Amino acid sequence: MIAKVVRTLKDRLGAAAPASPRATAHPPLVPLKLRTVDAAFALPEVSSVADLGGVWAVDAGYSFYALERHAPDRAVLVDDDITPVVRRRAAAFPHLQLLEQNFGLPRTPGDVGPVGVVLLFDVLLHQVDPDWDEILRRYAPQAQALAIVNPMYDVAPQTVRLLDLGEEHYRRAVPPQDNLDGLFSRLDELNPQRGRRWRDVHDVWQWGITDADLRATMTGLGFSAVHAEQLGRWRGLPDFADCAYVFRRDG
């Protein structure tokens, strides 16, 4: 069960100063995610990073945290929407590559290239076509580790497509968001910004992914969890737990 906190890297992490949200003062970063970055960089094979979907609300704060604290050889940020703030800050890091494109495109893993750790922070539950598990399959072959922070669904035994729960249940389950008004009446309409139907855009919550399904997927890809934390309810939502993992490529 995920309630068990596993920190096999604890000794190594103890040697470093504790993660501090002040490392990047603006915008505020979540300590759970900073610890997850630190846990990944504690692995000797991790010296580069790709942050998939790193922008919204934090202006790539976890990429910059990794760059400032762990001095990776190379960093790549991939997001559909890269802000001017990110571009300005990125100018100080010539070895940070910005890719403003969908990380689910078939070509994007190749554009990212081989990398020590892939960060997937609050993005997996948004991924449709390719779905969350296919994203993991596409990036696993070129990563030594995958660091995942995600609200995990723990009120059902298997992963669910949240829109299939129906509007009433969906609205109860997910956080309030402006784009939910009228969402269910336009599910099959085109979202012009994303070029796909509203039911498939990453701008809304799509999946309730269970801990068991995530772990089984990663096991199938030849990775094992070397760090995991569960902090209780995700922002008070009854159906989701606040969870973090680092999966490392086996032997």
Q: Using the rule CB under 6 A, which residue among 24, 63, 102, 217 binds ligand SAM?
A: 102
Residue 237 gets the label, from left (phi > 0), alpha (psi -120 to 50) or beta, of beta
Give me the least distance between CB of 134 and ligand SAM, in Å please: 11
- In this chain, which stretch among 42-50, 96-104, 175-183, 235-243 interacts with ligand SAM, using CB under 6 A? 96-104
Token pair of 243 as six digits: 């969870």
Specify the residue for token string 């696993």.
140
- The 10 Å Cβ neighbour count of residue 251 is 5
Question: Do 142 and 109 contact (CB within 8 A), yes or no?
Answer: yes
Specify the residue for token string 């190379």.
74
- In this chain, which stretch among 37-45, 55-63, 68-76, 215-223 interacts with ligand SAM, using CB under 6 A? 55-63
Token pair of 211 as six digits: 């801990």
Our finding on whether 123 is near ligand SAM (CB under 6 A) is yes
Give me the least distance between CB of 88 and ligand SAM, in Å please: 17
Nearest to 139 by CA among 160, 161, 120: 120
Cβ-based nearer residue to ligand SAM, 37 or 42: 37
Q: Using the rule CB under 6 A, which residue among 9, 58, 98, 173 binds ligand SAM?
A: 58
Nearest to 13 by CA among 74, 52, 70, 75: 70
Nearest to 77 by CA among 92, 95, 59, 98: 98
Our finding on whether 116 is near ligand SAM (CB under 6 A) is no
Our finding on whether 54 is near ligand SAM (CB under 6 A) is yes
Cβ-based nearer residue to ligand SAM, 66 or 123: 123
Our finding on whether 248 is near ligand SAM (CB under 6 A) is no
Our finding on whether 207 is near ligand SAM (CB under 6 A) is no
Binding-site size, ligand SAM (CB under 6 A): 20
Question: Do 209 and 132 contact (CB within 8 A), yes or no?
Answer: yes
Q: Which residue is nearest to ligand SAM (CB)?
A: 53
The C-alpha atoms of residue 46 and residue 40 are separated, in whole angstroms, by 7
Our finding on whether 104 is near ligand SAM (CB under 6 A) is yes
Burial of 166 (0-12, 13-18, 19+ CB in 10 A): exposed
Give me the least distance between CB of 151 and ligand SAM, in Å please: 10
Tell me which residues touch ligand SAM (CB under 6 A): 33, 53-58, 78-81, 102-104, 121-123, 126-127, 202
